[in-house]
Homo-oligomer: A and B are copies of this chain.
Amino acid sequence: MKHNFGAGPCILPQDVFQEASEAVKDFNGLSILEVSHRHKDFVAVMDEAIDLVKKALNVPAGYSVIFLQGGASLGFSISALNMMRSTKKAAYINTGTWSKKAMTEAKKAGFDVIEAASSADTNFNYIPKSLNLNDGADYLHFTSNNTIFGTQFKEMPSTSLPLVCDMSSDIFSREINVANFDLIYAGAQKNMGPAGTTLYIVKDEALGKSSSDFMPTYLDLKTHADKDSMFNTPPVFPVYASMLNLRNLINNGGVKAAQQRNEAKAALLYNEIDSNPLFEGTVASEDRSNMNVTFLMKDESRIDEFNALWQQNDLVGLKGHRSVGGFRASMYNALPIESVQVLVDLMKHFSSKG
């Protein structure tokens, strides 16, 4: 068995792989790959997927759940276009690569972009806490978890502005209060399902209010909310597999239980990083991500040796991103704590042999 610490697309529950594999062969007499999206059997899948998102996150009345395509990269544009109002100013918290890409697309959508806060001064190794929002803006955007730099908002930003969040890498990993947001979007390929669909949770009051001169029909969230995500052919298999994964989440105690498991995994690994003399974390303690744990080897000359060790022991995807170096252990919902224990034991072993 492999221990998949990959940053995404990432591990999902083994049961989900088995059920999804079976449906590719037989889904009510056809393959799930050849079923019309208008067939009642797939309409039921889409409806269940939407309901499961609402259940998992306690989505209040007055919000729509939508499954689209294009990943967060298209979401940067969709969020900006849909949230454009009278000021045409948009405030962004800059916590690194993904925030910067979101800011770029807001500019391309016609916004005057305000950097309300940034942690660029120390290579994004913390979450900035104070915001400069004196000028007003149509919304405040932030990235809840930063896969590359290993930081995570433990408290969501407090603002009177409409709040927009790219939650791609930690949605369904912890309880959130959806009512605080006007718009949440998230690529599926961390805790929701395989790559190929993107989730939007949008306040209905925010739909159809854009002041943008440019709005292709596909990029208008109202299009999809009005059609229950069936405006055009949805990505049938990615939605189906996401539905299976959300079922699995609910059947295993929901987001609350997932959060407890994630906190236990994070405590186990961060404790080892802090106590092992060979390693050190890269992120300010209070802002450490429970999803993506970034850490360095103090003696850089021994990096190759440790890389060889984890690869020999069936660990996958532990190499650090080039922007940070060292190692990155991504520990999404489906990663069992036993895999984290294997990593911790390897770190102890590596340390003990000097």
Q: Could you mark each residue 26-45 of chain A with 1 if its beta carbon is under 8 Å from any beta carbon of chain B, else 0?
A: 00011101111100000000
Q: Is the CB of A237 within 8 A of B29?
A: no
> A70 near B218 (CB under 8 angstroms)?
yes
**Chain B residues within an 8 Å CB radius of A110:** 214
List residues of chain B with CB within 8 A of the CB of A217.
Answer: 73, 77, 101, 104-105, 108
A16-B76 Cα distance, complex, nearest whole Å = 35
Which residue from B29, B70, B72, B105 sits with its C-beta under 8 Å from A70?
B70
Q: Which residues of B contact A10 (CB under 8 A)?
A: 34, 36
User: Contact check: which of B11, B108, B238, B316 meets A235 at CB < 8 Å?
Assistant: B238
Oligomer copy total: 2
Q: How many Å from the CB of A213 to the closest CB on chain B?
A: 8
**A33 contacts B8, C-beta separation under 8 Å:** no
Q: Is the C-beta of A122 less than 8 angstroms from some C-beta in chain B?
A: no
Give A284 Cβ to nearest chain B Cβ, in Å.
27
Task: Kindly identify, within residues 232 to 266 of chain A, every residue whose CB is under 8 Å from any CB belonging to chain B.
Answer: 232-238, 241
Known contacts: A24-B24, A31-B17. The answer to whether A74 contacts B233 by CB under 8 A is no
Closest beta carbon of chain B to A189's beta carbon, Å: 6
Chain B residues closer than 8 Å to A30, beta-carbon distance = 2, 4, 316
Contact A12 B25 (CB under 8 A): no
A218-B31 contact in complex given A69-B69, A235-B238, C-beta closer than 8 Å? no
> CB-CB < 8 A to A150: which residues of B?
none
Contact A37 B24 (CB under 8 A): no
A69-B71, A195-B235 given as contacts; is B17 within 8 A of A25 (CB)? yes
Residues on the B chain within 8 Å of A29, using CB: 2
Q: Which of A4, A9, A214, A234 counts the most B-chain CB atoms under 10 A from its CB?
A: A9
B-side contacts of A74, CB under 8 Å: 69-70, 216, 218
Distance A31 CA – B14 CA, assembled complex (angstroms):
9
A237 touches B238 (CB 8 A): yes
With both beta carbons as reference points, the residue of chain B lying nearest to A36 in the complex is identified as B6
Within 8 A of B (CB), among A184-209: 187, 189, 193-197
7 residue pairs of the A-B complex, CB under 8 angstroms, read: A9-B35, A9-B36, A11-B34, A69-B74, A74-B218, A189-B236, A196-B238
With A8-B36, A195-B235 already in contact, 4 other A-B pairs whose C-beta atoms are closer than 8 Å: A73-B217, A105-B217, A214-B214, A235-B238
